[in-house]
Amino acid sequence: MEKLKIVFTLLSITITIGLGLYWIGVNAEKEQIETSELIKEGFGESKGIITSIKYYKGRSLRVKYTLNNKVYEYSGGWDHNPKRLDVEDSISFKYSIKRPEVLITELEYEYENY
């Protein structure tokens, strides 16, 4: 009886973790599609300053930029860095006219598609 409880508990934990990872993947893909759709509807181009960039554990960056006298900070990932951009470097991006907090930086492969 005790072994059955242990097996059931481990199975429950495994299923919960698996469903959690699946949910994260689906939401990440959905967010990427929404970003692409917003930018396709109409975009502007601008530049910002990289305030943080990480080369490990998911490749993340933060960009500070100003549009229409309002300061924004973008936090997202990146795919490639051929110019070897780093903190305090200028970075180009394309942003949604409808929602300027939504953008794609030049370090993402999708950037060239717009």
pLDDT, residue 89, reads: 97
Determine the Cα–Cα distance for residues 17 and 45; give it in Å rounded to an integer.
40
The single-letter DSSP state of residue 57 is S
pLDDT, tens digit (0-9, with 9 covering 90-100), for 77-86: 999 999 999 9
Percent of the chain with pLDDT over 70: 99
- The stretch 73-101 carries a mean pLDDT of 94
Q: Which range scores top for mean pLDDT: 5-14, 34-43, 62-71?
A: 62-71
The pLDDT of residue 27 is above 80: no
- Kindly write down the DSSP assignment for every residue of 8-24, as one continuous string: HHHHHHHHHHHHHHHHH
Q: How many CB atoms are located within 10 Å of the residue 98 CB?
A: 11
The pLDDT of residue 39 is above 80: yes
Q: Both tokens of residue 94?
A: 């394309």
